[in-house]
A and B are shown apart, each in its own frame.
Chain A
Amino acid sequence: MFTLFLYLLALGGLVFSFIKDRQKTKMAVMKGWKAFTNILPDFAVVLALIGIMLTYLSPHTIATLVGKSSGFWGMLASSIVGSITLIPGFVAFPLAKSLLDRGAGIMQMAVFVSTLMMVGVVTAPLESRYFGKKETILRNSLSYVFSFIVAIIIGMVVGS
């Protein structure tokens, strides 16, 4: 749905640009293509790594890893799984929901969801290519710590 919107926006922009200035449009397409092919080798590596990661950390495996564990160790396990895995939201949220229904704690699931979205170990090489090592390490580690704060607050709000 959103992808469709993105396509409409891009195509609309392209047509509009073409009407206004053919030369500039050609330049824009070339720039876009060049930026894409520049990063494709790194992209390909990350996508291939995610393929391996998804195989070995399937929703089923994740469920056994973080499902019934609770307390701080449960949170730690959830946060590690969340940081490493890169599964789309439409898989992650129902997964977290089903784990909650099967007895997982709210804080464990909150830290799982938060690290899943904010911390990216497999995408770190790609992030580093764009932003440098320092930014990548800082953003990911700060996000990691922050995920625990989020989880504790969610635990207080939703748990009570």
Chain B
Amino acid sequence: MNLLNLIKTYRYFLLIILFDLIITIFHPDTGLTIFKYTAGNFAEMLAIIPPIFLLLGLLDVWVPRETIIRYLGEGSGLKGIVLSIVLGAAAAGPLYGAFPVAAVMAKKGTKYRNIIIFLCSWATLKIPMFLFEMSALGIKFALTRWLVNVPGILAIAYFIDRLIDAEDKAEFYRRQMANP
């Protein structure tokens, strides 16, 4: 019964693994490469995700909603925008690490536009990544990209904020609040 539930929960994942296995039967080299990369992805995820979720749990328990609202909520203005950029840029790791963080930020009352700003900043403004980009592609390339990205992110966040109606936003916040 319990096993059945587990299989049901992971059915899509299991289907992909089945697909990988079929490939392995017909093209062993390709199949093994897929498994090697998949295992590598899991290793990377497991390396970066535990501290993120642990911090999220701590944040959820210790930081009062009022604090987040004051710094990132409605009426946080320019301060909230800057803080969202800084929080995103200070991060490292793939974009999927940003999703759960943004979800808890929403749960605590972060303004919708600031959530999107945070998400986009994490995607493309990451400072550790910037340093690496600079050494590989040159300071002109990296710096131009970074500087153009800041207003670009603000514009993208503005449009998304305008284009998603109040009802969808309310539903998004409701879903985050319903999470444990």
Binding site for B on A (CB under 8 A): 1-3, 6-7, 9-11, 13-14, 17, 24-25, 27-36, 38-39, 41, 43-52, 54-55, 86, 88-90, 93-94, 96-97, 100, 106, 109-110, 113-114, 117-118, 120, 123, 126-127, 130-132, 134-135, 138-139, 142-143, 146, 149-150, 153-154, 157-158
Contacts and interface: CB of A to CB of B under 8 A. Distances in A.
B2 interface: no
Given A6-B51, A10-B51, A123 B95 contact: yes
B47 A55 contact: no
B49 interface: yes
A93 B16 CA distance: 29
Contacts of A35: 53, 56-57, 100, 103-104, 179-180
Contacts of A117: 95, 123-124, 129
Interface in B123-157: 123-124, 128-129, 132-133, 136-138, 140-141, 144-145, 148-149, 152, 155-156
B38 interface: yes
**Size category of the binding interface on chain B:** 35 or more
B85 interface: no
Q: Which among B13, B171, B179 has the highest number of chain A CB atoms within 10 Å?
A: B13
A2 B92 contact: yes
Contacts of B41: 47-48, 50-51
Given A110-B141, A143-B120, A96 B136 contact: yes
B88 to A, nearest CB: 12
13 contacts: A32-B58, A43-B96, A47-B41, A48-B20, A93-B133, A100-B137, A117-B129, A126-B99, A134-B163, A135-B160, A139-B160, A143-B120, A158-B138
Contacts of B119: 139
Interface string B1-44: 00000000110110011011000000000100111011111101
